Amino acid sequence: MASGIFAVLDDIAALMDDMAMMSKVAARKTAGILGDDLAVNAEKASGFVSSREIPVLWAITKGSFLNKLIILPIAFLLSAFLPWAVTIILLIGGVYLGYEGAEKIYEFLVPHNNKEEAISKLELSETEILAVEKKRVKSAIITDFILSVEIVIIALGTVIGKPIITQIGVVTFIAILATVGVYGIVALIVRMDDLGYKLIASSKNEKSFVKKIGRMLVLALPRVIRGLSVIGTLALILVAGGIFVHNLDFFHHLLPSLPSVVLEFFVGLLVGFTCLFVVKIVQKIWKSIRKT
């Protein structure tokens, strides 16, 4: 009886050790996209009124957890019974990410009326503010869903052929790490200025080190957000290009002399602006139909 219990405990220990080792491998393989996820979501979670930053970020975080709850069981089932469907889902996600990145570049280069910017300058009622927040939270959760699919699939690829318990343990750990880690860091970034103001208020000496750190944090936040906005846009393009390059031989062998990062960026731009062009044409056709 005792020997049987010890045998079971030994098996559990071996399984946990295997999970720990595979989790390290999966974490290394997903590190790049986790960085992209951080940049994209930090940009999307910024720009709110200070008192609403944490509630909005918490709403996005809850949406991210829900995304993982939806994605994980579907990923395990598709991997087991319809592996080809995983590639199709990734490519659809790649199209969306490329489109969103191309749209951001288009809005930066082409002068246009930014409705969201105009809205932020008006005195809005609480109901109107919540409506704007709800729209932005929804957009952030959709982007998180697509990036989460990519993270889960990459993590799943590192444990293919392992026992199902190992697959579930490793991929679930990476999924939770992605959400807690990414949004934890985003929370620290968006509250940087509040910490700065508290440090400034805590010292009466204008030349104190604490006050200097506080001013530095306050001045640094807008620059960090702008930097993350640029990095987030580039990340969208790179992730989209990477999906196509790694899953379609045509793109993989398109320009073999180019470094992989350059090729992925080029393919991401190609896919994104092609999709953006199609969307703009459809929008113009739809507007002309509605006018008639």
Q: Does 7 have pLDDT greater than 60?
A: no
- The answer to whether residue 35 sits within a structural domain is yes
Whether 255 is in a domain gets the answer yes
Name the band, by pLDDT with cuts 50, 70 and 90, for residue 1. Answer: very low
Over residues 22-42, mean pLDDT: 60
pLDDT for the residue 119: 44
Asked whether residue 29 carries a pLDDT value surpassing 70, the answer given is no
Residues 6+ apart with CB under 8 A from 216: 196
In Å, how far from its chain's centre is CA 279? 23
| Residue 216 counted as domain residue | no
pLDDT of 125 above 80: no
pLDDT tens digits for 149-164?
878 877 776 776 677 7
Q: Report, as an integer, the average pLDDT of 16-25.
A: 55
Q: Percent of the chain at pLDDT above 90?
A: 8
Q: Radius of gyration over alpha carbons of the chain, in Å?
A: 23
More confident residue, 291 or 11: 291
Residue in the structure block whose two tokens are 């700065």: 196
Residue 18 has pLDDT above 70, yes or no: no
Which whole number is the average pLDDT over 132-157?
A: 81
0.75 surpassed by pTM? no
> What's the angle, vertex CA 55, arms to CA 50 and CA 57, rounded to 5?
90
Cα separation, 108 vs 192, whole angstroms: 26
pLDDT score at 45: 64
pLDDT for 82: 80
Q: Is residue 198 part of a domain?
A: no
In a domain, 203, yes or no: no
Asked whether residue 217 is assigned to any structural domain, the reply reads no
For 233-267, letters b (16+ CB in 10 Å) and e give: bbbbbbbbbbbbbebeeebeeeeeeeeeeebbbbb
d(CA 137, CA 114): 18
Is the pLDDT score of 253 beyond 50?
Answer: yes
**Average pLDDT, whole number, for the chain?**
76
Residue 233 CA: distances (Å) to CA of 134, 168, 286:
22, 32, 28
Reported confidence tier of residue 273, pLDDT bands at 50, 70, 90: very high
pLDDT in tens, 164-211: 787 788 888 888 888 888 888 888 877 777 778 788 888 777 777 877
Average pLDDT, integer, range 132-161 = 79
> For residue 244, is pLDDT > 80?
yes
Query: Residue 167 is part of which domain span?
Result: 2-192+229-291
Question: Rounded to a whole number, what is the distance in angstroms from the first to the last CA of the chain?
Answer: 83
Whether the predicted pLDDT of 118 surpasses 90:
no
Residue 159 CA neighbour count, 13 Å, CB half: 33
Residue 199 placed within a domain: no
Q: Within a domain: residue 153?
A: yes
Q: Is the pLDDT of residue 68 over 80?
A: yes
Q: Give the torsion sign (CA, 27, 242, 69, 61).
A: positive
pLDDT score at 28: 58
| The pLDDT of residue 213 is above 80 | yes
Task: Please say if the pLDDT value at position 27 is more than 70.
Answer: no
Total number of domains constituting the chain: 1
Reading the block at residue 259, the tokens are 């470094």
